[in-house]
Amino acid sequence: MAGLPATAGIAATMPKSYIKRILNARVYDVARETPVDEAVLMTRRLGNRVWLKREDLQPVFSFKLRGAYNKMNRLSEAQRARGVVAASAGNHAQGLAMAAQKMNVRATIVMPRTTPLIKVDAVRNRGARVVLHGDSFEEAAAYAANLVAEKNLVYVHPFDDPDVIAGQGTIGMEIVRQHQQPLDALFVPVGGGGLLAGVAAYVKYVWPKTRIVGVEPEDAACLLLALQRGRRDILPEVGLFADGCAVAQVGKETFRVIRDTVDEVITISTDEMCAAIKDIFEDTRSIAEPAGALALAGLKKYVERTGVTGQDLLAIVSGANTNFDRLRYISERTEIGEHREAVISATIPEQPGSFRAFCSALGRRNITEFNYRFADNASAQVFVGLSVVPGGEDLAELLAELARRGYVTEDLTDNEVAKLHIRYMVGGHAPESVDNERVYRVEFPERPGALLGFLSGLGQRWNISMFHYRNHGAAYGRILVGVQVPAGERREFEKVLEALNYRYWEETANRAYQLYLGKRAPTSAES
């Protein structure tokens, strides 16, 4: 997280021109004035009054409709006649497609190939032409720029445009009117910064003491990077889970506004987003997309860090466009993100009654997962998931109790290999014949043919000794692969991985792999 320069006297320094732009924005031909609802369950849990601005209730299930329509209204008749083009991961695309349909304007939308199908279909159903290109917003934007030059189309930027910013700023205007009393803090998701800039410009002008907090994914924190360096810069890699915020560089105009109006930026993990999706569902019975739950996740983190109580805190639920099959992955990660599930490994004696004794040591805690396979006559490794009380003390007490009873345990709750792969692979150690096994965790954009492309890229020089891949509905796939690579050839092998241009991590030393899948260390009797 990062703080911004103090905003005292903000009315004198902020871009006042945006107030008039926002007041004059034309959005309600297509957009709805969405409610500000109290999240009753979150209010009780956090000890603060928690409010949700429900932009997931828009006709396109996202706030993006506001900025797109306002921009379209500002185009001349000649510009509309040329047709419009945009690059978008989905929500801006839907908003622009709906605006173009209403105004009878031809629209071409360039979308990354990683865009959830639900968003692609929604854009096509609005009458727009969809072009799938690249794996990121930046690649899609570059292709859209080519179409502008080749076909004389008018480019409608998803965030870095004053009219788009002003359209999004109408959300801030509604919040002020609906809540009436100044909020203590307002939490806004950040991709390119259009929503944050528009909302912050209006709210900070009317309520100068309200703390404005931008919230970004940890793996797509382009605003935080800009603040740290004092200038806009490009992230070398962008995580795709929160596809609505998967932007490598914050906008030029949005950054100008944000620097004068925003107090703080908080970054959020994937697990924390998943937990916030569950929180929104429990309070509203609606399912937010990952980017849509980002602000609430930031609100929760802010309360945990500061310890504030009795305050009025509002989070913008920015959208609800997510593929149904992604819910499986979200559900799996939710309990860990909420710190309600722990994953541990324990060594128990390989003898009759040891399972029962170990379960007895766990007490009356709810066991969510239990994996085991016979390894040798001396001891066994068991992989256990169990419900715990948030805060960490419950787990610490359990591990201490198990230690007192003579069990050797390891906490794997934050081990990505354990959570993503090992829990589905517990089945035995590598045989003695497997030499020089190196283990890598690889991420690649999830699209048809991507897995085959990965395998083809590896070639046939090195033998694959272990492989795990599971499609869980996210925007990127994950592989755990074991490859027999002699010591003298490891740099060559990693050059092959680097040439594939996928993110990877070596996990040969990962404890979860060593405990459950690697070569079993010889027992004292064997040695």
| Higher pLDDT among residues 309 and 322, named by residue | 309
Question: Scanning the structure block, which residue is given the tokens 């945009």?
Answer: 86
With a cut of 70, say whether residue 374 has pLDDT above it.
Answer: no
pLDDT (tens digit per residue) in 32-48: 999 999 999 999 999 99
SS (H, E, C) 451-475: HHHHHHHHCCCCEEEEEEECCCCCC
Q: Which of 86-95, 199-208, 274-283, 335-344 shows the lowest mean pLDDT across its residues?
A: 335-344
pLDDT (tens digit per residue) in 248-266: 899 999 999 999 999 999 9
Q: How many helices (H) and strands (E) does the chain have?
A: 21, 19
Tell me the pTM.
Answer: 0.76
Q: Which pLDDT value is given to residue 234? A: 93
| Higher pLDDT among residues 433 and 216, named by residue | 216
Query: How far is it, in rounded angstroms, from Cα 81 to Cα 106?
Result: 8
Task: Give residue 359's pLDDT band: very low, low, confident or very high (50, 70, 90).
Answer: confident
Write b or e for each residue in 153-190: b if 16 or more Cβ atoms lie within 10 A of its Cβ, otherwise e: bbebbbbbbbbbbbbbbbbbbbbbeebeeebbbbbbbb
Residue extents of the structural domains in the chain: 2-9+34-57+165-334, 64-155, 339-414, 430-516
Query: How far is it, in rounded angstroms, from Cα 183 to Cα 340?
Result: 30
| Higher pLDDT among residues 97 and 326, named by residue | 97
Q: Which pLDDT value is given to residue 349? A: 84
Q: Which pLDDT value is given to residue 474? A: 56
Task: Give residue 446's pLDDT band: very low, low, confident or very high (50, 70, 90).
Answer: low
Q: Which pLDDT value is given to residue 418? A: 86
With a cut of 80, say whether residue 338 has pLDDT above it.
Answer: no
Question: Scanning the structure block, which residue is given the tokens 């994937």?
Answer: 270
pLDDT (tens digit per residue) in 462-519: 888 888 876 655 556 778 888 889 989 999 998 998 888 888 899 999 998 888 888 8
Helix (H, G, I), strand (E, B) or coil at 94: helix
| CA proximity to 338, closest of 413, 274, 412 | 274
Query: How far is it, in rounded angstroms, from Cα 303 to Cα 297?
Result: 10
Is 1.10.10.10 the CATH number for 64-155? no
Vertex 186: Cα angle to 93 and 308 (nearest 5): 145
| Higher pLDDT among residues 445 and 423, named by residue | 423
Contact at 8 Å (CB) between 413 and 336? Answer: yes
Q: Which pLDDT value is given to residue 13? A: 45
Average pLDDT over every residue of 3-9: 45
Other CB atoms within 10 A of residue 472 CB: 18
Q: Which pLDDT value is given to residue 5? A: 44
Task: Give residue 9's pLDDT band: very low, low, confident or very high (50, 70, 90).
Answer: very low
Q: Which one is the CATH code of 339-414: 3.40.50.2300, 3.30.70.260, 3.40.50.10320, 3.30.70.930?
A: 3.30.70.260
Query: How far is it, in rounded angstroms, from Cα 84 to Cα 75?
Result: 10
Same fold, 2-9+34-57+165-334 and 64-155: yes
Contact at 8 Å (CB) between 184 and 241? Answer: no
Contact at 8 Å (CB) between 197 and 254? Answer: yes
First to last CA, the chain: 51
Write b or e for each residue in 402-412: b if 16 or more Cβ atoms lie within 10 A of its Cβ, otherwise e: beeeebebbbb
Query: How far is it, in rounded angstroms, from Cα 406 to Cα 499?
Result: 48
pLDDT (tens digit per residue) in 156-166: 999 999 999 99
Active site residue 519: no
Contact at 8 Å (CB) between 477 and 446? Answer: yes
Burial of 488 (0-12, 13-18, 19+ CB in 10 A): exposed
Contact at 8 Å (CB) between 365 and 398? Answer: yes
CATH C-level class of 2-9+34-57+165-334: alpha beta
Q: Which pLDDT value is given to residue 8? A: 37
| Strand ranges, E, within 42-184 | 49-54, 84-87, 107-111, 129-132, 154-155
Residue from 62, 136, 269, 318 carrying the catalytic annotation = 318
Question: Scanning the structure block, which residue is given the tokens 């903000």?
Answer: 10
Residue 434 CB contacts under 8 Å (≥ 6 apart), including other chains: 465, 482, 484, 519
Residue from 53, 64, 119, 204 carrying the catalytic annotation = 64
Give the count of alpha carbons within 13 A of 520, CB side only: 21
Q: Which of 112-116, 173-177, 240-244 shows the lowest mean pLDDT across its residues?
A: 112-116
With a cut of 80, say whether residue 26 has pLDDT above it.
Answer: yes
Provide the CA 185 distance to its chain's centre, in angstroms.
Answer: 22
Q: Which pLDDT value is given to residue 389? A: 75
List, as own/partner pairs, every contact residues 100-105 make where C-beta atoms lie below 8 angstroms and the sequence separation is at least 24, other chains included: 100/72, 100/126, 100/127, 100/128, 101/126, 101/127, 101/128, 102/29, 102/30, 102/69, 103/72, 105/72, 105/80
Supply 340's token pair: 């309600």
Vertex 497: Cα angle to 493 and 503 (nearest 5): 140
Active site residue 64: yes
User: Helices in 324-478 by DSSP H: which ranges?
Assistant: 326-337, 354-362, 393-404, 416-420, 450-458
Rg (CA), the chain: 25
With a cut of 50, say whether residue 341 has pLDDT above it.
Answer: yes
Average pLDDT over every residue of 361-382: 75
Vertex 497: Cα angle to 492 and 499 (nearest 5): 95
Supply 83's token pair: 């047709």
- Tallying the residues shown for the chain, one arrives at 527
Query: How far is it, in rounded angstroms, from Cα 487 to Cα 2?
Result: 42
Query: How far is it, in rounded angstroms, from Cα 60 to Cα 77?
Result: 25
Average pLDDT over every residue of 347-355: 76
Q: Which of 21-35, 284-298, 420-434 shows the lowest mean pLDDT across its residues?
A: 420-434
Give strand pairing partners of 268. Answer: 217
Quick one: DSSP state of residue 47?
T
Q: Which pLDDT value is given to residue 357? A: 82
Contact at 8 Å (CB) between 261 and 13? Answer: no
With a cut of 60, say whether residue 3 has pLDDT above it.
Answer: no
Task: For the chain, give the mean pLDDT.
Answer: 87
- Classify domain 430-516 by CATH architecture: 3-Layer(aba) Sandwich (3.40)
